[in-house]
Amino acid sequence: MAGQGLLIILIVGLIAGWLASQFVRGTGLGLLGDLLVGLVGAVVGSWLLPQLGIHLGAGVLAAILNAFIGAVIVLVIVRLIRRRGRW
């Protein structure tokens, strides 16, 4: 993988993670946590959305939206696990 491709993946993950953390309140994970959630969300979104028959197209905006949807799912799961651990 070229260095430029890796940089794009990191930027998409960071944007998606930050957007998802703004959308799902109460899960502040910081810059590194948002990046990790965005990257995991990109993987989740890339796998889950085609399974559901949802195709967002190609390009950077579609990748960000795909990763955002996956990151929201990941953050909701993290939030449920955190909440369960406190009880």
Q: Which range of residues forms the domain containing residue 30?
A: 3-86
**Inter-residue long-range contacts of 6-12, CB under 8 Å, 24+ positions, other chains counted:** 8/60, 9/39, 9/42, 10/35, 10/39, 12/38, 12/42, 12/60, 12/63, 12/64, 12/67
pLDDT of amino acid 3:
66
Residue 39 CA to residue 11 CA, distance in Å, equals: 9
Domain count, the chain: 1
From first to last of the 87 residues of the chain, give the pLDDT tens digit: 566 677 777 788 788 888 888 887 766 667 777 778 888 888 888 888 888 888 888 887 888 888 888 888 888 888 888 777 665
Residue 18 CA to residue 37 CA, distance in Å, equals: 9
Threshold 0.85, pTM exceeds: no
